[in-house]
Amino acid sequence: MTVEPTLEKSAPSLGRAVVARLRGVHKTYGPVRVLDLPELDLYAGQVVGVVGENGAGKSTLMGTLAGSVRRDGGEIEIDGQELVAGSTAESARLGVSLVSQEFPLVGQLSVAENLLLGRRPADSRRRVVVDRGAQRRAAEAMLAAIGLDPATIPVRRAVRELPVPARQLIEIAKGWGREPKLLILDEPTSSLGPVEARLVLDLARRAADQGGAVLFIGHRLDEVREIADRVIVLRNGRLVADLTPEEATEDRLIREMVGNEVAHSEPKNAPASAPTLLEITDLTADGLGPVDLTVREGEILGIAGLMGSGRSRLIHTIAGAQPSTGGSMTLAGKTYAPKNAEQGVAAGIAMIPEDRKQQSLVLFAPIRDNVTVSVLRRISSRGVLGPRRLRAEAVKITDNVKVRMQSVDQPIGSLSGGNQQRAIFGRAFAAEPRLLLLDEPTRGVDVGSKAQIYELIDRAAESGMAVVAASSELEELLWICHRIAVMHRGRVAAVIERADATKENIMTAAATGVAQSRTELNGNPT
């Protein structure tokens, strides 16, 4: 076990009323304790910013409060009333409202019906029959309440016909309309433009001023610092810092989020003489491009960019998993124009997608079957696969990447996230690819395991593989990459050499699409 981190607690409570009182709340998934909070109080009138890396326990904390996650133990009181575990209806009844990032909306139903999902408009006296007029009026009032002109979001339209930002605003109006005592906002601005983001920040403030408590989960530290009266930092499911806005400088927050567990060695510089492996010219695809990029053998190229900037699309297009609509690629000097992912694999490309559970693994199947998928043809003699050969190969693959497990026969879903991810790397390595494509290589992996994943990536590059890694975590890219390409609205806004790369110049290029002076402009002459 790691040493219990000392909790720094200096945020003022100032004798305010406690809205939410958490004692000993904990939650375990498999072997991983994802949340462990001995004590946490949320006060009326406060906006509490919550920061932490992916997998730090932010969403579990929100889930236990909102009832979508059943806590394993501990007590939660909302306004003095005990909250029953794992019931969204109970949480809603006690006044907890979650504005989710994942928009749980019903696309087929109208905006008005979504806003009043599961409820009756207050001024409708009909119990069984829907009062559509009242529903529409209530919906328009809810949109107006968060400061939206009803003309921007017609309440009769089906939700699926609306763009993503509109859906996010509907989701916010939904949470707001329940007049919550505890309003939880989960990265509410990540899909919004600046004007709407402003509106949401103002709403959080208003909710607090009206005497509610607000939990603001943020992905942008500056935003959190601006809005919060108090910032708490989660790391590995624990509360490691509880700070006033003055204390919560960006440096301090990053230090608390990351801890000092990651000690990563500088990667060796890629040999400049190494031949170019992948050359991309004017590549376009749905929502992407034109993109020009080159990757050398043994090089780790990072892909940075905000959400929706085309990071994943670029990775998928190179892999052949998304059709390209124009431009060309050459791989090791030969024209490479994959029509599907199968042709990408055949050309020597391995991709590790971002969603392990959905896109990589059969969770209930044994480790041996999961890790050997990429080499089945090679290990089958005359097309017939022997069970002993399969097992031996699986052991070799998992040993190679040091998967911690009891045996290759246990379901891969029983491993921790970090171990699962290492197994996936093992599978990719086993196919002996020339180009390794990574999309969020450490998502849902705890901090300790991250360092091990970075080592694997280094190793791949040292063995001569070219690596393209897309990540939303800037620190990660700064640690592992030789060069970083920054995407903005589907294009490469800048390619920054490792020596020149700072968080600031990456963020600037990502947010504005304009590279700073010292960076090399690439493929985006406008």
Partner 1 sequence: MSAPTLTPADAPAAAPSAGSNLLRKLAATPEAGVVLACLVAFIGFSIAAPTYYSTDNLQVMGRDLAEFGILAIGESFVILTGGIDLSVGGLAGFAGILAGWFNVNEGLPGPVAIVLTLAVCAAIGLWHGTMVNKLNVPPFVITLVTFTICKGLALSVTSGTPITGMSNIFGDLSLYYVGPVPVPALIFLVVAVATWFALERTYVGRQIYAVGGNAEAARLAGIPVKRRVTSTYVVSSTLAGLVGILIIGRLGVADPSVAASGYELTAIAAAVVGGVSLFGGEGRIVGIAAGAILLELITNGLNAVNVSEYYQTVAQGVVLGVAILADRIRAQYFGGSRR
Q: Does 220 bind partner 1 (CB under 8 A)?
A: no
- For residues 281 and 278, give the distance between their C-alpha atoms in angstroms, rounded to a whole number: 10
Choices 291-299, 305-313, 466-474, 514-522; region in contact with partner 1 by CB under 8 A: 305-313
Q: Does 198 bind partner 1 (CB under 8 A)?
A: no
- For residues 116 and 142, give the distance between their C-alpha atoms in angstroms, rounded to a whole number: 9
Sites for partner 1 among residues 75-104 (CB under 8 A):
88-89, 92, 98, 100, 104
- The nearer residue to partner 1, 166 or 227, going by C-beta atoms, is 166
Residues 6+ apart with CB under 8 A from 122: 138
Beta bridge partners of 40: 22
- For residues 493 and 506, give the distance between their C-alpha atoms in angstroms, rounded to a whole number: 10
Q: Which of 160, 339, 404, 518 binds partner 1 (CB under 8 A)?
A: 160
Q: Does 306 bind partner 1 (CB under 8 A)?
A: yes
Q: How many CA atoms lie within 13 A of 343 on its CB side?
A: 14
- For residues 196 and 175, give the distance between their C-alpha atoms in angstroms, rounded to a whole number: 16
- The nearer residue to partner 1, 21 or 491, going by C-beta atoms, is 491
Q: Does 120 bind partner 1 (CB under 8 A)?
A: yes
Indicate the pairing of strand 288-296 with strand 276-285. antiparallel
What are the distances in angstroms from CA 450 to CA 366, 464, 475, 480? 24, 22, 12, 11
Sites for partner 1 among residues 314-353 (CB under 8 A):
none
Q: Does 376 bind partner 1 (CB under 8 A)?
A: no
- The nearer residue to partner 1, 90 or 279, going by C-beta atoms, is 90
Q: Does 373 bind partner 1 (CB under 8 A)?
A: no
Residues 6+ apart with CB under 8 A from 394: 367, 368, 369, 371, 372, 408
Choices 164-172, 252-260, 395-403, 413-421; region in contact with partner 1 by CB under 8 A: 164-172
DSSP 8-state symbol, 339 = S
- The nearer residue to partner 1, 113 or 446, going by C-beta atoms, is 113
What's the min distance (Å) between Cβ of 128 and partner 1? Answer: 5
Q: Which of 287, 348, 411, 448 binds partner 1 (CB under 8 A)?
A: 287
Q: Does 191 bind partner 1 (CB under 8 A)?
A: yes
Dig out the tokens for 89 from the structure. 């209806």
Torsion of CA 331, 333, 334, 338, to 10 degrees: 20
Choices 71-79, 107-115, 247-255, 405-413; region in contact with partner 1 by CB under 8 A: 107-115
Q: Does 308 bind partner 1 (CB under 8 A)?
A: yes
Q: Which of 510, 442, 438 is nearest to 469 (CA)?
A: 438
What's the min distance (Å) between Cβ of 443 and partner 1? Answer: 19
Q: Which of 3, 14, 128, 499 binds partner 1 (CB under 8 A)?
A: 128
Residues 6+ apart with CB under 8 A from 64: 25, 27, 35, 70, 71, 76, 85
Q: Does 446 bind partner 1 (CB under 8 A)?
A: no
Q: Which of 70, 157, 339, 378 binds partner 1 (CB under 8 A)?
A: 157
Binding site for partner 1 (CB under 8 A): 66, 68, 88-89, 92, 98, 100, 104-109, 113-114, 117-120, 128-130, 132, 149, 151-154, 157, 160-166, 169, 191-196, 287, 306-310, 489-490
